[in-house]
């Protein structure tokens, strides 16, 4: 009996040591979980920043693409306008060549309008003021008619030359317009090239960010899984700790019961010795000890 009591008294110490060990393990698990939760917060903040940057870059990329579409359409329009001007230039140049041939024909031979008019005035003055024979007057009238035709041709040649000058001025204007259109086309094309470079750079950064976010999400998922696993372990250890405390309390109660039981048995032996000695007068407590069972005599603890 004494051996059993000694063994029972060792049990609380063993349970207490186990309780302490479990408490330490729970504390360690909680520390690990807290550390991982803090790391999760940092990683989630970092991922949030990357996602914000990713959204901004995607919006910027879409904006650049829209700008590029506008510029490409503008280049098409400018090239169409330039092509129309080039066609107009060719047409005007062809017209110019025709005019040049007309002028050359009209100016062959090349005679001054002023000279023709002076000659006409001289002949008309002779015809009107001097007495002439019929032959001389006929000759002067024929010359006057010839000069009038020549004057008409010279005037027409002069008018055609003026038109030729206008055509040359028009050609210069068209060439300047073509040059300006080509300059604008080059400028817009350069802007498109710049946008292409920016888009390439942004696409590269977007790809990097997507990989970074993917890696962070994977790490976050792994850490969250570990946190959840630690949470379950903590719950399991906490449940185990509760069971140990219950065991500890039960053992303490059992030790107290054994102690009381030992006292009751000793008292009962004393009463039995009195009866053997012939003492018949017993107290109510002694009668209860004598005729009651040990378990009935021990009051259960609340």
Task: Encode pLDDT of 158-171 as tens digits.
Answer: 777 888 888 888 98
Residue 296 covered by a domain? no
Average pLDDT over residues 18-22: 92
Average pLDDT over residues 68-78: 96
Given a cut of 80, is residue 274 above it in pLDDT? no
Residue 286 covered by a domain? no
Instruction: Specify whether the CB–CB gap between 167 and 95 falls below 8 A.
Output: yes
Given a cut of 50, is residue 238 above it in pLDDT? yes
Mean pLDDT (the chain) is: 85
Task: Encode pLDDT of 102-122 as tens digits.
Answer: 777 666 566 677 887 887 888
Residue 187 covered by a domain? yes
Is the model more confident about 125 or about 266?
125
Average pLDDT over residues 221-236: 95
Residue 84 covered by a domain? yes
Task: Encode pLDDT of 170-223 as tens digits.
Answer: 989 999 999 999 999 999 999 999 999 999 999 999 999 999 999 999 999 999
Residue 282 covered by a domain? no
Q: What is the pLDDT of residue 301?
A: 44
Number of domains in the chain: 1
Q: Residue 192 is part of a domain; what is its CATH number?
A: 1.10.287
Look up the domain containing 136 and give its range: 2-276
């Amino acid at each position: 009996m004494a051996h059993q009591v000694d063994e029972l008294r060792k049990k609380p110490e063993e349970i207490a040591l186990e309780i302490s060990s479990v408490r330490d393990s729970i504390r360690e698990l909680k520390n690990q979980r807290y550390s991982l939760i803090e790391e999760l917060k940092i990683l989630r903040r970092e991922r949030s920043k990357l996602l914000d940057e990713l959204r901004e870059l995607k919006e910027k990329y879409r904006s650049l693409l829209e700008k590029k579409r506008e510029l490409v359409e503008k280049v098409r329009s400018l090239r169409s306008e330039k092509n129309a001007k080039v066609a107009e230039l060719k047409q005007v140049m062809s017209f110019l060549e025709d005019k040049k041939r007309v002028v050359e024909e009209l100016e062959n031979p090349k005679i001054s309008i002023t000279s023709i008019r002076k000659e006409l005035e001289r002949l008309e003055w002779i015809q009107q003021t001097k007495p002439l024979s019929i032959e001389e007057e006929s000759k002067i009238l024929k010359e006057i008619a010839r000069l009038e035709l020549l004057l008409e041709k010279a005037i027409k040649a002069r008018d055609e030359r003026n038109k030729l000058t206008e055509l040359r001025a028009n050609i210069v204007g068209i060439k300047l317009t073509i040059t300006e259109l080509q300059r604008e086309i080059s400028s817009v094309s350069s802007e498109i090239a710049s946008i292409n470079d920016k888009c390439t750079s942004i696409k590269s950064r977007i790809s990097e960010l997507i990989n970074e976010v993917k890696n962070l999400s994977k790490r976050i998922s792994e850490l969250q899984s570990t946190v959840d696993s630690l949470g379950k372990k903590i719950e399991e250890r906490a449940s185990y700790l509760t069971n140990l405390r219950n065991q500890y309390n039960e053992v303490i109660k059992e030790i107290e019961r054994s102690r009381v039981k030992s006292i009751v048995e000793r008292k009962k032996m004393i009463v039995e010795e009195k009866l053997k000695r012939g003492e018949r007068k017993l107290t109510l407590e002694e009668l209860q000890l004598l005729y009651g069972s040990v378990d009935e005599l021990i009051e259960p603890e609340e």
